[in-house]
Structure 1
């Protein structure tokens, strides 16, 4: 089979590998679409749990084409979305219900072969049947599952107003999820005009460029201030926009060495809550319900359908977001 392999940091090549076989409790999936994520760029650069050589790609959907022994409830020909997180189920973190923090953490496309290939093998329990969605739409189940976990961490109150920094693919998913979860108004901030326009089409009350008068829209502050940028300066600015009792959600992936300055007194005196959200935690079914119901739209987010041979180009789009007017790039082996 054809597969894209990171052989060493910043070295990616297309190889012909032996197709994997489904073992006990596993299924093999013929990959239909795999989304390109910032994590893929980090792995390409040799960061973030990278175990090289590696076939990356963790936002995976496709068709089951081989069912291993001991598997029930899945059959050849079924369209599935894959949860990439493989947890042991026995360690301290798993027993606390924090499987994405498993002490023996594994993940498709991160520590095991992933979806930038013609075939991928996964535990059957990680494969979720999809109804009424294309494989391109189903590939959004993983990033939307991450958003669903962020929403569970955030617990928006009905009637809340939210300020969202970042209207890239993950920000636009978060925007819609906030609205689905009871937030009345979302103001999106992004430097790219096309992304601001799309944010408004997907339900944003207002979409502003950085530097525009955000505070005028909520004189007493926003109940929720969220960021999907990974930019430390944005994180540092967030408390200034929050209402008393407001919640601050850090959703973007900042560089590991980044540091910000926050006022502990401000957080204390104004009853602010600072919330982090990492990966997904059994939330892929929630994502599929949102997608299958049509409550969250993903087709407008897809900017490119590219073959496996164009993964280099897709990573360049991820590294330079304004390049080629890229939004969500799908690799379709």
Structure 2
């Protein structure tokens, strides 16, 4: 089978690899249909991913069709599915407590082991969710949207909360969309005027351009001095995360959606004065994938607007390299097989 391999930073090649063998008990073989290209994939190509060993077949935002199943698998051959790319042990404390998204020994397809930028992939059958009528191209967007849906569910704040999402990339936009579905009054903040224009004109969000003046003063003015009940940071920026503490209202919460390989600091007196909550959010659960697909079917998620670029497996060799640096107008790109 054909596979797109990142042999080392800056080097993408096609390889002919043996087709996966027949699935064992509890596993299924999936013919890949579409792969969403994530910021993680661009970072792998650039050599900026902190937890990666090369060479690697990238790709963890996956949809496809089941072509073979092993013993004990309930899902049927021919089922169109979205792939949950988080492979877990099922035995650690997190898994026992129903939180496999933060499994102690989690492996993510396309990061810790080879992913879906190939023609066929063996996957645990429990990681396959029927798309139930969604187009497979839209199903390739489910995983990244589930990250935001999970973060909103983690926040625990009720409808009506004044909410700020920092970072208008795909994860931030997904978070904002699901915060709005939860009934929150959502504002988006970013330094990119282009991203903010998209969020405002295409998705209908009020925005704050943090490059056009003091962010904290803009937040103060926008909220009549109260600041935001709920703040999500989806930037992957240490500076942004640390600044986000100052945007939270007294009694509010900060949810860290992005992750950085660094330490952050904050003022403990300010933290306690606000009696604020600091919440980490990692990956997503089955309930989040189901919530995303239901929202897509209901028309609450405009997947067609979010998928701004597409390519083929053959052309992806050059397009990934190009889009790593040319991101004008790019929200989400999808490879069609």
TM-score (norm: length of structure 2) = 0.89
Closer/same/farther in 2, CA of residues 42 and 196 from structure 1, 3 Å limit: closer
8 Å contact from structure 1 (residues 169, 328) kept in 2: yes
Contact 1:165–1:229 under 8 Å retained in 2: yes
SS in 1 for 2:165: strand
Among 278, 294, 302, the residue aligned to 1:289: 294
Q: Which residue of 1 aligns with 2:192?
A: 192
- SS at structure 2 position matched to 1:34: strand
Quick one: distance in 1 between partners of 2:132 and 2:208?
A: 33
Matched, 1:308 2:313: yes
Q: Give 4+ residue runs of structure 1 displaced > 6 Å after superposition.
A: none
TM-score normalised according to structure 1 size? 0.90
Tell me, in whole angstroms, the C-alpha distance in 2 between the residues paired with 1:113 and 1:143: 18
Structure 1 residue 177: Cα displacement: 0.4
Aligned to 2:56: 54
Alpha-carbon distance, 1:150 to partner: 0.9
Q: CA deviation at 1:80?
A: 0.6
CA separation in 2, counterparts of 1:206 and 1:53?
40
Distance 1:14 1:88, change over 3 A: same
Match of 1:167 in 2: 168
**Equivalent in the alignment of 1:20:** 20
Please give the per-residue CA displacement for 1:208-267, whole angstroms capped at 9, x wherever unaligned. 35334332110211101112111111112112221101111111233x1x3333101100
User: Per-residue CA shift, 1:103-146, capped at 9, x if unaligned?
Assistant: 33223222232111111111111111112321111011111222
Which residue matches 1:277?
Answer: 281
Q: Structure 1 86/270 Cα, relative in aligned 2: closer, same or farther at 3 Å? A: same
Q: Which residue of 1 aligns with 2:251?
A: 245
Q: Secondary structure of 2:121's partner?
A: strand
Within-5 A mapping of 1:50-129: 50-76=52-78, 78-129=79-130
- Higher mean alpha-carbon deviation, 79-88 vs 275-284, is at 275-284
Is 1:229 paired with 2:231? no
* Unaligned segments of structure 1, at least 5 residues: none
Q: Is the 8 A contact 2:59 2:117 kept in 1?
A: yes
- Residue by residue, what CA displacement relative to the aligned partner does 1:60-98 show, whole Å, maximum 9, x if unpaired? 00122223333223222x211000111121122211222
* 1:24-45 residue CA offsets vs partner (Å, 9 max, x unmatched): 2222222111111122234342
Output the CA distance in 2 between the equivalents of 1:210 and 1:244.
25
Deviation at 1:314, TM superposition (A): 4.6
How much has 1:317 moved relative to structure 2?
Answer: 5.7
Q: 1:131, 1:292 within 8 Å by CA — same for their partners in 2? A: no
Q: Point out where structure 2 has 5 or more consecutive residues left out of the alignment.
A: none
Query: Retained in 2: the 8 A contact 1:10–1:46?
Result: no
Instruction: Find the residue that maps to 2:115 and give its secondary structure.
Output: coil
Q: 1:134 aligns to what?
A: 135
Deviation at 1:164, TM superposition (A): 1.5
